[in-house]
Structure 1
Amino acid sequence: MFDIFLKDIKLKWRQYLYASLASYGSLCTGMSMGWTSPALPQLRSNNSPLPREPTLQQESWIGSLLVLGGLLGPLITVPLLNRIGRRWIIMVSNIPLLLGWLLAGVATDLSTIYAARIMWGCATGMQFATVPLYIGEIAEDKIRGSLSSLFLLFINVGFLLAYSIGPFSTYWGLTATGGILSLFYIPCTWIIPETPFFSVYKGRIEEASQVLQELRGTSKDAVQAELEGLQAIIAREFKVEPSVKDLWATKGNLKALGICVFLAMLLQLSGIDVLLFYMEELLIKVGTKMSPSDGTIIMGVVQVVTSFITPLVVDRLGRKLLMWTTSLGLTIFLGIIGIYALLDSHYHYNVESWAFLPLLCLIVYMILFTLGVGPVPWILVAEMFPVRTKCLASGIASFMCWLAGFIWTRFFRDVAASYGIYTAFWILSVCCGFGFIFSVSPLLPETKGKTFDEIQDMLNNRTKQPNPEPV
């Protein structure tokens, strides 16, 4: 068995390497997303780069503008994905990423910080729309889910770095660290190859063959069948230029779009960005007695550890099972936090003996989100759509994800201030409850281990005709 494992690693290690190098940018954007949790207290301190302490509304804009900037990502990537390729868009995402760190580092007023957040959001949106697509096109079917999970792993490492460095550093130290780490993404993006699919699409057949040989660790003859399959798909799907109408041209496409848009919006409506952006503040508001900085570090560690587990289970347990179990868990534990906050902040019950409960629930929340609700929508985007519509679908799902995230991160604190933090958590719980109902229904098919044609048969309700037996 060990020999089989070593042989498998020898054949597939390049796929893991290139998926990791492409995903490294999400570490940098994850750090920019988690930057608000330790940075907002520093902006209120005497060592703040700002001339005066920001108001609650201004802090909400600092948090939400990154998500608003994320809306720019799909608008940039969708028109260019089939023109310049996946690799070049991933490389271009370095520009707003580094510009954001530069602006944050020299900021002396709110407008500069706002601009930095928008730049980070633009880079994040570009990566969310491109990197999962890139990974899906270089991966073999059997490890596609595992490789796609690496994207979320690197995001969580970025959050952990922000949570770990921020409380023990100055505003400028935290920002400089993020900028330096982002510089390393430049060589990462130069090393990765273009996907075989895009090379074939552009008529560079020999280049595609060489990349396939490298990715699969096999000979030219061994990848010939896969190469011919790509050529056949492109010849069939790209007789004319793709258009938005293709997304509803078939029942399967329309159903896939609805599934992926709903789950991408659920990802944000579950409150993940709210929790990650304002982690220190929320730990204080829900009544936990642990130091906010210690609590955020614990949360970051939990995210990263769980992210290592996700690739091991996503291709074994299946997408549907992970979605309904994790969304059910989020519904329950977010509801419990709301009840605790109601008893503590509204009714002023003595909950001293249960002070550990909010942090425990948030830890379980992070575990469940990282296992299911977080990675599954992007895995499904890469799996469900024909190659003709995949770029458009990825962009639309990403756009709707960021739109939902912007609305919620912008107004979450207003809801909490006006109606109580418990009300805000109950709204999150209800959203996850809708996700559970959707996930257990027949609307969400299981795609684990299935080929694209098998997935399309399910979406279009087609049944395979049995081959006639020889007479």
Structure 2
Amino acid sequence: MANRIVQFLAMVSGSFLPLTCGINLGWPSPFLPKLQEPDSQIPMNSDEASWVAVMPLIGGPFGAFLGALLVDKLGRKNLLLTQGPLIALSFLIMAFFNNIWVLCVIRFIVGSAEGAIYTALPIYYGEIADPKIRGILGSSLAVSALMGNLLINVIGSYLSLFWSSIISGGFALIHFFTFVWMPESPYFLIKKGLLEEAKASLTKLRGEFDTKEFDEIKNAVKRQEACEKSKFLDLVTVKSNRKAMGIFIILTLTNKVTGMTPVMFYTVKIFTEADGILDPVSSVFSFNMVGLIGTILALFIIDRFGRRPLMLFSAFGCCFALLGEAIFFMIKIYLEEYLEYVQWLPLVSLMAFNLIFCLGLAFGPVLFLSELFPTSVKANALGAAETISVTLGTAISKIFHYLTDAYGMVVPFWSFAVCTALAGYLIFLVVPETKGKTLEEIQLDLIGQRDDEHREKQGQKV
């Protein structure tokens, strides 16, 4: 444990950025209902509120591609350090300027920062981590985002927009003043030819210098740089990258079709319409707390049980939980005389949904992204991945808004349940296991080289 202390410190410090992303993403749940009230300080109708909600998702691709351009120029660490002050300034402006246009622009800017963060931070964690704890570091992004979501739902229920914004900006500054002391990725330093700096970084991360690991990293970077030119089209023209992108798209599709993004945006609204056994604020707190517990639990089991089993359990478990929610709203509409017997169902179903989601799908796409792509294309891959993720999230959030306005909650939850089951089957067919493998071993698996080497060795034994 002692030789990994710097890796864990980097994880804790880096986590303040996804925490602020979670705050920004969960912000609509406590605040949009307030802002649509007659005496609102920022008057808006339902459609305007839906656009305020999805602004971070619209801003995400811009930040993702900017991050992809800069992460191999500025470095993983330096790019991440620029995001804290930007987010802090954005929340400060939100605190003092209360109108819908400023609100949209600020949420767009923080969403852009989120795109850059989710491009650079998975790369950073993947490249500094010991293979035995890479799952913990990678999945910590989801823990932090869930903590941010829970935090804004709590403070947003009791504090004003002004104080909530001030507190949120403070977390971004904590990141800056702590992360500045963390080491840069040795992969990046080797990529730039800074071998002595790379040795110092690896020594700081591992507690001692490991010549064998340093040579492995250096050879991996050299092989990847030689085999694959760093072009965006390499994501589809190189077979191993194409496999990796296909795996990511399936995981992200599953993540999004569960409906978790609109559920986070409209948690208060969903529980208000359900009118269950607890008031909406208590229900939202319970919902987010269970999700946080699930994500923390995932940190301790991801490197024990593996990625693939957790993804499958999470997908099919979410399907059954969503069915419970859909059945409740059907009973509420068509079998109202039985409603008193199932008042517990919406809270229990959504809590189970969040718990199971956080055990796998919450961190799956980001974790696999940090593992599947070679150094030469990793920045472009994460930029494209974030764009795909937020585009799907925006589309599904808007579809949820229109479907609920037209048909209530029944159709969206039935749709989410069916789509999640189909996506889970795709995970079963396509997604591999990466537990305990080095980044180089994963790459060799994708290009098929390890299989060839294994067959050669078997032939030699015979």
Question: Counterpart of 1:29?
Answer: 21
CA displacement 1:68-123 (0-9 Å, x = unmatched): 11122211111111111111111122244123312321233211111111012111
The correspondence for 1:224, drawn from 190, 207, 211, is: 211
Match of 1:276 among 264, 271, 274: 264
Please name the residue that 1:256 is paired with. Answer: 244
2:378 to 370, 373, 390: 390
Counterpart in 1 of 2:36? 44
Q: Mapping of 1:40-189 within 5 angstroms? A: 40-45=32-37, 48-50=40-42, 53-189=43-179
What SS class does the counterpart of residue 191 from structure 1 fall into?
coil
Matching residue of 2:356 = 368
Give the counterpart letter for 2:439 in structure 1.
F
Q: How far did residue 230 of structure 1 move?
A: 2.1
Deviation at 1:410, TM superposition (A): 2.3
Q: Is the 8 A contact 2:115 2:383 kept in 1?
A: no
The answer on 1:448 being equivalent to 2:435 is yes
- Structure 2: where are the runs of 5+ without partners? none
Residues 274, 409 of structure 1: 8 Å contact kept: yes
Aligned: 1:466 with 2:454: no
User: Do structure 1's residue 325 and structure 2's residue 313 form an aligned pair?
Assistant: yes
Equivalent residues of 2:183, 2:201 under 8 A apart:
yes
1:23–1:131 Cα contact (<8 Å) kept: no
Deviation at 1:284, TM superposition (A): 1.4
Distance 1:47 1:205 in 2: 61
Tell me the percent identity: 26
Output the CA distance in 1 between the equivalents of 2:337 and 2:204. 63
Q: Distance in 2 between matches of 1:423 and 1:348?
A: 17
1:452 Cα deviation after fit: 3.3
**Distance across 2 between alignment mates of 1:233 and 1:210:** 18
Structure 1 residue ranges (4+ consecutive) displaced by more than 4 angstroms after TM superposition: 467-471
1:234 to 204, 212, 221: 221
> Could you tell me which amino acid in structure 2 is paired with residue 209 of structure 1?
K
**Contact 1:99-1:116 within 8 A present in 2 as well:** no
Select between 407-416 and 232-241 the one with higher mean Cα deviation: 232-241
Counterpart CA distance in 2 for 1:99 and 1:72 is 19
User: What amino acid does structure 1 have at the position aligned with 2:220?
Assistant: I
**2:292 equivalent to 1:304:** yes
Name which of 11, 24, 29 aligns with 1:19: 11
* Residue pair 2:183, 2:204 contacting (<8 A) in 1 also: no
Query: Match of 1:251, as an amino acid?
Result: K
Task: Return the alpha-carbon distance in structure 1 between the equivalents of residues 278 and 153 of structure 2.
Answer: 15
Structure 2 CA distance for aligned equivalents of residues 171 and 248 of structure 1: 44
The answer (yes or no) to whether the contact 2:85–2:172 under 8 Å persists in 1 is: no
**1:262 CA displacement:** 2.3
Offset of residue 159 of structure 1: 1.1
1:5 maps to which residue?
none
Do the aligned partners of 1:260 and 1:377 also contact (CA within 8 Å) in 2? yes
SS at match of 1:71: helix
Q: Could you tell me whether the CA contact under 8 Å between 2:36 and 2:45 is conserved in 1?
A: no
Tell me the CA shift for residue 25 of structure 1.
0.8
Q: TM-score scaled by structure 1?
A: 0.92
Task: Give 5+ residue unaligned stretches, structure 1.
Answer: 1-8
Deviation (angstroms), 1:182: 2.4
- Using the TM superposition, give the Cα deviation of residue 42 of structure 1 relative to its aligned residue in structure 2, in angstroms: 2.4
Counterpart in the other structure of 1:6:
none
1:454/1:237 CA distance change after superposition, 3 Å: closer
Instruction: Output one character per residue of 1:343-395: Cα deviation in whole Å (capped at 9) or x when no partner.
Output: 10355343112111111111111111111011111111111122222221111
The reply on whether 1:350 has 2:338 as its aligned counterpart is yes
Judging changes above 3 Å, is the alpha-carbon distance between structure 1 residues 470 and 62 closer, same or farther for their aligned structure 2 residues?
closer
**Cα distance between partner residues in 1 of 2:408 and 2:177:** 47
Partner secondary structure for residue 374 of structure 1: coil
Alignment pair present for 1:430 and 2:421 = no
CA 1:349/1:63 → structure 2, altered by over 3 Å: closer, same or farther?
farther
Most deviating of 284-293 and 398-407: 284-293
CA contact (8 A) 2:240 2:443 kept: yes
